[in-house]
């Protein structure tokens, strides 16, 4: 009973935002503001997980095609926070459903000239029809599966665009252990969080969706990102092979 009560209290505090959302005004406004927020937040987050990202993406090169060049597609590229971790000469396809990220994306590309941008597509992870079947060696997705409408469809698209033997690299915050206080606060904050996190869910069990997807190999581990009291602290990190 405590969870619904606290949820109602938070919803009461966010009543003006809920009214704007019902009128169809909040989402267009926040889509313009959100890239500016992420431009400030992404570097702070990168500092926290720098070693983990460096270790994870150090494996990208082994999935390069016969030519030696790596064809990489990133879902939800945002501000390009991952670009610094990608290998030189990487042939990059960027996708994001929010076109307001474009100027931040271009700024990141100018700072990471070791990469070659092949194309940038305004598209959601659930519908990557502009990308051909088996067209890429690697798909990368970080802090995106928490906010997509349909995680299963995104992973189906990942499998479709990957070549056989290609890999899906991920780093996502996920639901905590259901018996923990972290999970309690995730459930309390979830209804309100989506308005401030552009549809983000704090308690999504992304690891279960990955386990259900038809990958030939899944390398996954759980980590905690500071501060540990935060509802976004529990993460999964790893890669899966088609």
Q: List Cβ neighbours of 58 (8 Å cut-off, separation of 6 or more).
A: none
- Domains of the chain, start order: 1-241 (3.40.50.150)
The pTM assigned to this predicted structure is: 0.95
For the stretch 156-175, pLDDT in tens is 999 999 999 999 999 999 99
At residue 225, the pLDDT reads 97
Task: Report whether pLDDT(22) > 90.
Answer: yes
Tens digits of per-residue pLDDT, 54-80?
999 999 999 998 888 999 999 999 999
pLDDT tens per residue across span 97-132: 999 999 999 999 999 999 999 999 999 999 999 999
């Amino acid at each position: 009973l405590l969870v619904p009560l606290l949820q109602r209290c938070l919803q009461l505090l966010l009543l003006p935002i809920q009214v704007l959302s019902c009128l169809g005004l909040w989402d267009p406004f926040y889509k313009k503001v959100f890239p500016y927020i992420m431009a400030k937040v992404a570097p702070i987050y990168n500092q926290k997980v720098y070693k983990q990202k460096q270790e994870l993406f150090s494996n990208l090169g082994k999935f390069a095609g016969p030519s030696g060049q790596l064809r990489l597609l990133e879902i939800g590229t945002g501000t390009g926070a991952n670009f610094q971790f990608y290998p030189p000469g990487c042939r990059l396809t960027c996708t994001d459903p929010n076109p307001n990220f474009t100027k931040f994306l271009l700024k990141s590309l100018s700072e990471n000239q070791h990469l070659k941008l092949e194309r940038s597509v305004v598209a959601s992870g659930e519908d990557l029809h502009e990308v051909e079947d088996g067209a890429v060696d690697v798909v990368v997705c970080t802090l995106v599966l928490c906010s997509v409408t349909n995680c299963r469809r995104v992973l189906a698209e990942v499998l479709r665009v990957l070549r056989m033997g290609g890999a899906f690299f991920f780093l996502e915050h996920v639901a905590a252990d259901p018996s923990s206080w972290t999970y309690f606060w995730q459930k309390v904050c979830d209804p309100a969080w989506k308005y401030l996190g552009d549809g983000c869910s704090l308690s999504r069990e992304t690891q279960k969706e990955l386990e259900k997807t038809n990958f030939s190999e899944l390398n996954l581990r759980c980590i905690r990102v500071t501060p540990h009291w935060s509802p976004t602290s529990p993460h999964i990190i790893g890669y899966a092979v088609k």
